[in-house]
Amino acid sequence: MLSLLSDAAIAGKVFDGGTHKELLEEIVLMARRVVGACGATLFLIDLETEELVVELVHGGSEKELENLRLPVGRGIAGYVAATGQALAVENVQNDVRWAQDVGAKMTYRPDRILGVPLIRDDEIIGVLELIDKEDGASFSVDDIDSVSRFAIMAAIALEQSKTASTLTWVLRAALADLGDGRKTLSKVSLDQAKRLEHDPEHHQQLAVAARLGRILRAGPAERRLCLELVESLLAFRQVSTEEQSDP
């Protein structure tokens, strides 16, 4: 797990740009991709007022929902925040948990919603709602499981992004982890993720990766030059991938 996180982190650092807003965007995009959802809404909790605040909307009603605040316990997102449990709702418009007054403002009326809490150290920091699947199917138990697993790592990324600006790598690790069977994300794995953050060698690797990323984004000429330089360096050190894997 540690090496998986490390690799994913380095890969992430090379390819990401990284502001908080971009991180939110990436969370929503990736979550939608996990289940093939038509839209999504990301709420973060304002702990002072104990309200859910809409941070990002995909797939319609962006204007109507902008900066909307919902008390915890209200609406489907409020229910997810209050109980801390993921929830798949069919026939949303007729569900007693659906906040009818908010729904009435929306230009897009969802049929199905899958809501998952974003939890960090037992504290609910937000709710991610996925809206209607592209294939028109119901959200399955597997969908709940996948998005929940993704949400665990998304919550870590969101928390970390408060102190370190770019940690979308955690999300990439989450995606890699999704392909790793239906394994439980244990506290141990999460602790390993935390440990990685404080590993100086890992930070050095991230620094190298970040600089490489900047060169790769600069343009084709820079990329060619970078490649030549790296190859020269490798030839000089007589290090190849095969040799690295030799005991």
Partner 1 sequence: MKVSLPAWSDKFSAENLSLVSDGLPEGPITREWAWGNTSGRGIRVGILDSGIDGHHPAVGKEISGWASFYLDRASGEVVRSMEVHDDSFGHGTACADVVRRLAPEADLVSIKVLGSNLRGRAVEFLAGLDWAIQEGLDVINLSLGTTNSDYYAKFHRLTEEAYFRGICIVTAVNNMPIVSYPSMYSSAFSVACVPDREGYDPFEFYYSSSPPPEFGASGVGIDLAWAGGNTLSVTGNSFAAPHIAGLLARIRSKHRDLTPFQLKTVLRATALNTSGAEL
Phi then psi for 106, rounded to 5 degrees?
-80, 140
- Contact status: 243 vs partner 1 (CB under 8 A): no
Binding mask 123-142 toward partner 1 (x if CB under 8 A, else -) reads xx----------------x-
Choice from 5, 42, 45, 157 touching partner 1 (CB under 8 A):
45
Q: What angle do CA 140, 102, 73 make, to 5 degrees?
A: 65
Choice from 22, 95, 111, 159 touching partner 1 (CB under 8 A):
95
Cα–chain center distance at 78: 20
Q: Which residue has the tokens 């690790």?
A: 173
Quick one: DSSP state of residue 40? E
Least distance CB 25 / partner 1 (angstroms): 23
DSSP-based three-state secondary structure for 150: helix
- Contact status: 101 vs partner 1 (CB under 8 A): no
For residue 47, give both structure tokens: 């702990």
Least distance CB 91 / partner 1 (angstroms): 8
Return the HEC string of 168-222.
Answer: CHHHHHHHHHHCCCCCCCCHHHHHHHHHHHCCHHHHHHHHHHHHHHHHHHHCHHH
Closer residue to partner 1 (CB): 144 or 171: 144
Choice from 21, 69, 83, 239 touching partner 1 (CB under 8 A):
83
Stretch that binds partner 1, among 11-19, 58-66, 119-127, 199-207 (CB under 8 A): 119-127
Residue list 177-216, contact with partner 1 (CB under 8 A): 182-187
Least distance CB 112 / partner 1 (angstroms): 12
DSSP-based three-state secondary structure for 76: helix
Phi then psi for 128, rounded to 5 degrees?
-110, 125
**Which residues contact partner 1 by CB under 8 A?**
45, 47, 50, 71-73, 79, 81-88, 90, 95-97, 116-117, 119, 121-124, 141, 144-145, 148-149, 151-152, 182-187
